[in-house]
Amino acid sequence: MLDKAALRVEAKRVREAAFEASPHAAHELAAQFLRAIEPGRVVAGYAPIGSEIDSIPLLALLAVRGVTLCLPVVRKGARILEFRAWAPGDMLEQGVFGTRHPSLDSEVVRPDMVLVPMLAFNDSGHRLGYGGGYYDATLQSLRATGSVTAVGCAFAAQRVASLPVETNDQPLDWLVTEQDALRFA
């Protein structure tokens, strides 16, 4: 079994280098997404933390197309993310773990597509996150109550040959980078 803690350290270093080397990656990711993927009616993005590839430029383009947008809220003591309505230009509040989210007065919505940040991914549609399991638990919950498409968002440099996969790890349906979009079976 590969050591997830060691993988996370190396993956974060690789992602930070890709972030520094790719100032236009978020816009290139948006273009790749729009070429390959039909967006859902309600798309959950994320406000990037640190060197995560930014989903906000893509969300802005989806808003122009009439897609309803939302961002996750991490609630203390809860493993399932809560999604609140958001539109480009709306102010964000500080959340736990360095997250930023819409006002808690914003409407709670259920996304049918979730953009998922990560530290690394492989060609089988699995990702390495920070280890809290929030996205895995949330995707599992959403999939138990209906259809949802999970789209990983990453720099191409974050691709790795293999990752340890546990039973609670939720696979991605798509992976989009600044260079391509991959669909998984």
Domains and CATH numbers, the chain: 4-183 (3.40.50.10420)
Q: Which residue has the higher pLDDT, 5 or 155?
A: 155
pTM of the model: 0.96
pLDDT band at 2 (very low <50, low <70, confident <90, very high): low
Residue 137 corresponds to which amino acid? A
Report, as an integer, the average pLDDT of 147-174.
96
Q: Which residues pair with 127 in a beta bridge?
A: 121
Q: Where are the alpha helices (DSSP H) in the chain?
A: 4-21, 25-36, 56-64, 134-144
Checking if the pLDDT of 1 tops 50, the result is no
74-106 burial code (b ≥16 CB/10 A, e <16): beeeeeebbbbbbeeeeeeeebeeebebbeeeb
Report, as an integer, the average pLDDT of 157-163.
96
137-149: per-residue pLDDT in tens?
999 999 999 999 9
52-90: per-residue pLDDT in tens?
999 999 999 999 999 999 999 998 888 999 999 999 999
